[in-house]
């Protein structure tokens, strides 16, 4: 993370989080001098007018300017007051209603300007420490940012945006502009809401989105930045209570499409060491629906008990191959009866909840950071292992494991795909029973049923109790064996 981003975040966080109490062995003058430090790596903070007094200073038209890659950004705040306190602290406040103007100047896109209003209730931010390394303790009953207008190259856009936070508390300790010391961050939000809408000026498509969440919590610890390692060493966790979101899109040629999703709770974690980066997520009690006039059933809806996800990747280059891990679990997936009734109105098929588990391991080549600096960066996978693949649906239980060595070049000089070398073993129960139920429901005619059974016989061995087993082997020369019989 660059120093300019950290500086912008530390100052922008203070002005965006409104009436602020700052308690530290620091004065208003010291804070303002540090914010104005020209060594802040491209971050410019200025005020149209500075009025000083024995108690501190009042700033009018405070402007924060910085750039990220090829985009310049400027944010202007109506004003703020820094007041020295008797205990060596500084109280920073904003009006209850504050105008905020933002300008984005990308190098390859039109200039975008937004005029917004920031409203807050009982916001308090406490700083302790020094101007160079302040500790923050914040709270607010309500914070609301509403975008009043948006223009591109001076032309107004049909767009609206409203972001609301309720019952906010948080702390930030140890932050320096260059992240040369460990830092800790906590943030708790009782309620969160986002409403946005826009009309595409080219296609006239109308898009609107709403989301609400309760009981959001975030905490993170980041170690001092080591310039010799690729990623910062950190740990973070984010949790959500109940939440829901919806999106509606209207396209003149198609009509109105909509989607909605909700969950009872969700959690995400990140852990980065000098060697690995691991990301984990889970969501409980999900409900989803999608409506499209092009779908005969109209609305497709379903529920899931839980979704779990884990991804672990190498965080630093090494001479040897490094392992990556991916695990995905989908538990208790069900479809609405309206979906089933389109092809199984008599309920001939089992409607038990579906479950899917996928666990993969891969040996990746990551020998230099330069591999990530290419126009299309990639880390080649040399070996892939399926350690667990399980699917249960409509009375069928299927499991598979396998491993493959991937060719270093995906295509031969003649343009023929090179074949991975390895094998996969699979076992399934209930497949023949499901085919029979499909026939009873009239979804598969007798000829199709016979063809499906013959196809299964080519790839699997029939066993007792409606069991199928199969082993498929491939070699670098392109040969393929199925259950010991070479077919290619």
pLDDT tens-place string over residues 99-136: 999 999 988 888 999 999 999 998 887 777 788 888 88
Question: Alpha-carbon distance 462 to 429, whole Å?
Answer: 10
Pairwise CA distance, residues 439 & 90, whole Å: 78
Does some domain include residue 359? Answer: yes
Within a domain: 280: no
Distance CA 248, CA 412 (A): 46
Q: pTM for the complete prediction? A: 0.82
H or E element at residue 169: strand 159-173
Per-residue b or e along 301-312, where b marks 16 or more CB atoms closer than 10 Å to that residue's CB: bebbbbbbebeb
Q: Summarize pLDDT for 199-251 with one digit per residue, the tens.
A: 988 889 999 999 999 999 999 999 977 776 778 899 999 999 999 999 999 99
H helix or E strand, kind and range, residue 168:
strand 159-173
d(CA 175, CA 230): 20
- Is residue 2, in this structure, part of any structural domain at all? yes
pLDDT at 153: 85
Q: Tell which residue, 432, 437, 481, has the closest CA to residue 456.
A: 432
Report the pLDDT averaged over residues 337-360.
89
- Tell me the angle at which helices 446-459 and 431-440 cross, rounded to the nearest 10 degrees: 170
The predicted structure's pLDDT at residue 3? 42
- Give yes or no for residue 4 having a pLDDT over 70: no
Which tokens go with 339?
């979906």
Whether residue 185 has pLDDT greater than 60: yes
Is residue 175 pLDDT above 60, yes or no? yes
Average pLDDT in the 73-100 region?
Answer: 86
Query: 279 by DSSP, 3-state: which?
Result: strand
Inside any domain, residue 31: yes
Question: What tokens were used for 268?
Answer: 């995400």
Percent of the chain with pLDDT over 90: 53
Q: Where are the beta strands (DSSP E) in 12-123?
A: 20-22, 44-53, 56-68, 71-84, 90-93, 97-106, 112-121
**pLDDT given for residue 39 in this prediction:** 61
Is residue 8 a part of any domain in this protein? yes
Cβ pair 423, 471 in contact under 8 A: yes
Distances (CA, A) of 359 to 39, 98, 390, 440: 48, 50, 9, 35
Distance in angstroms (rounded) separating the CA atoms of residues 316 and 209: 39
178 conformational bin, left if phi > 0, alpha if psi -120 to 50, beta if neither: alpha
Specify the pLDDT at position 333.
97
Given this model, what pLDDT does residue 36 score?
A: 80
Domain termination site, one of 176, 203, 233: 176
Whether residue 413 is predicted with pLDDT greater than 60 in this model: the reply is: yes
Using alpha carbons, select from 85, 131, 99, 84 the residue that is nearest to residue 15.
99
| Burial class of 264 by CB neighbour count within 10 A (0 to 12, 13 to 18, 19+) | middle
Domain end residue (candidates: 176, 203, 235): 176
**pLDDT at site 38:** 62
In this structure, is residue 57 part of a structural domain? yes
Compute the average pLDDT of residues 342-360. 90
Pairwise CA distance, residues 264 & 240, whole Å: 8
DSSP string across 388-401 = EEEEEETTEEEEEE
Containing structural domain, residue 462: 317-488
Q: What angle do CA 68, 71, 76 make, to 5 degrees?
A: 85
Residue 190 has pLDDT above 60, yes or no: yes
Evaluate if residue 57 carries a pLDDT over 50: yes
Q: In the chain, what percentage of residues exceed pLDDT 70?
A: 93
In the chain, the number of structural domains is 2
256 domain-assigned: no
Mean pLDDT, the chain, integer: 88
Decide which of 128, 143, 176 is a domain's last residue: 176
Examine residue 136 and state whether it is found in any structural domain, yes or no: yes
Collect all residues with Cβ–Cβ distance below 8 Å to 307 and sequence separation of at least 6. Answer: 281, 282, 283, 286, 328, 329, 330, 331
The Cα-based distances of 48 to 35, 51, 64, 119 in angstroms read: 15, 10, 12, 22
E strands present in 315-395: 322-335, 354-364, 381-393
Residue among 430, 443, 452 at smallest CA distance from 340: 443
């Amino acid at each position: 993370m660059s120093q300019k981003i950290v500086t912008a975040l530390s100052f922008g966080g203070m002005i965006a989080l409104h009436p602020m109490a700052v308690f530290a062995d620091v004065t208003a003058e010291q804070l303002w001098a540090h914010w104005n430090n020209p060594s802040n790596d491209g971050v410019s903070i200025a005020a149209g007018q500075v009025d000083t007094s024995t108690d501190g200073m009042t700033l009018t038209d405070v402007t924060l300017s910085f750039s990220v890659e090829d985009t310049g950004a400027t944010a202007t705040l109506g004003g703020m007051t820094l007041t020295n306190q008797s205990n060596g602290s500084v109280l920073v406040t904003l009006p209850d209603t504050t105008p905020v103007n933002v300008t984005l100047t990308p190098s390859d896109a039109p200039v975008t300007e937004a005029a917004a209003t920031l409203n807050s209730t009982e916001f308090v931010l406490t700083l302790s420490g020094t101007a160079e390394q302040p500790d923050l303790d914040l709270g607010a009953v309500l914070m609301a940012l509403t975008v009043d207008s948006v223009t591109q190259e001076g032309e107004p856009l049909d767009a609206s945006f409203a972001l609301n936070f309720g019952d906010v508390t948080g702390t930030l300790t140890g932050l320096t502009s260059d992240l040369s010391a460990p830092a800790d961050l906590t943030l708790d939000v009782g309620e969160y809401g986002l409403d946005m809408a826009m009309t595409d000026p080219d296609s006239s498509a109308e898009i609107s989105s709403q989301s609400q969440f309760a009981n959001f919590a975030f905490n993170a610890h980041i170690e001092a930045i080591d310039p010799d390692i690729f990623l910062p060493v950190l740990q973070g966790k984010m949790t959500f209570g109940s939440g829901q979101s919806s999106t509606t899109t209207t396209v003149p040629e198609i009509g109105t499409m909509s989607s909605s999703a909700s969950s009872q709770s969700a959690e995400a974690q990140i852990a980065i060491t000098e060697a690995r980066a691991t990301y984990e997520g889970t969501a409980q009690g999900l409900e989803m629906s999608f409506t499209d006039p092009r779908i005969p059933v109209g609305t497709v809806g379903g529920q899931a008990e839980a979704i779990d996800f884990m991804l672990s990747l190498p965080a630093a280059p090494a001479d040897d191959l490094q392992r990556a891990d991916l695990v995905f679990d989908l538990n208790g997936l069900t479809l609405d009866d309206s979906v089933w009734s389109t092809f199984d109105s008599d309920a001939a098929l089992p409607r038990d909840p579906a479950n899917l588990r996928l666990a993969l391991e891969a040996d990746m080549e990551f020998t230099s950071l330069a591999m990530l600096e290419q126009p299309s960066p990639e880390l080649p996978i040399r070996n892939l292992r399926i350690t667990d693949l399980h699917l249960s649906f409509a009375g069928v239980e299927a499991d598979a494991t396998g491993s493959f060595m991937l060719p270093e070049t995906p295509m031969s000089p003649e343009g023929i795909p090179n074949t991975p070398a390895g094998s996969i073993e699979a076992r399934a129960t209930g497949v023949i029973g499901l085919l029979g139920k499909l026939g009873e429901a009239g979804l598969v005619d007798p000829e199709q049923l016979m063809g499906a059974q013959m196809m299964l016989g080519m790839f699997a061995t029939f066993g007792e109790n409606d069991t199928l087993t199969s082993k498929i082997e491939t070699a670098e020369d392109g040969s393929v064996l199925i259950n010991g019989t070479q077919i290619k």
